Amino acid sequence: MNGSIVTRISAVFLLVTTGSFVSGKSISSQRQQSCRQFVQRFYDWYAPKADAAANPGPGSGPGFSLALKARPKLFSPKLLRWLEEDYEAQAKVAGEIVGLDYDPFLFSQDPCERYVAESVTYNAEKCFVDVHSVCQGRKSAKADVVPELTYQDGSWIFLNFHYGINDSAGLLGNLKSLRDERKQDQRKSQ
C-alpha cells in the first residue's frame, strides 16, 4: 500500500474512534448532569413538604405519601406500588408500627431544612446520586441517601433509595421485609 493512503486511513480511523469516544463521554457527562439536576429539583420541592409533614396538623400524612399522590410518575411502578401498599397498611393500624417509620426519601424522621444532590455515579443505564442533608447550615459529611434512577421514556424515574455503603437492597429491600412481616402476622392471626 502507498504510505500516504495508510496515513490517510490511519487519520480517518483516529478521528472516527476519537470522535466516538468524545461523543460517548459527552453523552454520559450530560446524562450525569441531567440526573443530578433532576434529583436536586425533586429534593428542592420535597424537603419543605416533608418538614411540614414531620409537624403534622389534622388530616396530614407522611411526606412521602404526598409525593406519591402529587408526582407518581417520578417513581417506577414497583416502587410506587410498594410505597402505597406500605402507607395503606400503616394507615389501617393505630398505635402500632407495621410500615416505614422513617421518611424513605430522606432516611430520617426529622427532616433538615434542605438537601443537596452532589456526586453522581452512572453505570449500566442507572444513575446513583449522593444526597446530603443540610441541617442548621451544616452539610452532612456522608450522603444521607443515594437515590437510584433510570432514564425512561424521556424522563428520569426513581427505582430505589439506598442508605449507606453496604445497603444493596435499599428501600425496596426494607419494603419487602415489611410486606413479608405483615403477611406472616396475618397468617398467625387467622
This prediction has a pTM of 0.79
Identify the H or E element spanning 146.
strand 146-152
Please give the average per-residue pLDDT across 11-17, as a whole number: 33
Q: Give the mean pLDDT of 155-174.
A: 90
**Coil, strand or helix at 135:** strand
pLDDT at 54: 59
Instruction: Compute the mean pLDDT over every residue in the chain, rounded to the nearest whole number.
Output: 82
What would the pLDDT profile of 62-90 be if each residue is shown by its tens digit? 678 889 999 999 999 999 999 999 988 88
Indicate which CATH number applies to the domain containing 115: 3.10.450.50
DSSP 72: G
**Cβ 43 vs Cβ 131: under 8 Å:** yes
Model pLDDT for residues 99-111, shown as the tens digit of each residue: 888 899 999 988 9
Confidence of residue 190 (pLDDT cuts 50, 70, 90): low
Where in the sequence is the domain holding 143, given as residue range(s)?
A: 3-189
Q: What percent of the chain has pLDDT over 90?
A: 52
| Angstrom distance (rounded) from CA 52 to CA 103 | 12
Whether 35 shows a pLDDT value over 90: the answer reads: yes
Domains identified in the chain, total number: 1
Q: What is the pLDDT of residue 166?
A: 72
pLDDT of 14 above 70: no
Q: What is the mean pLDDT of residues 38-64?
A: 77
Confidence of residue 51 (pLDDT cuts 50, 70, 90): confident
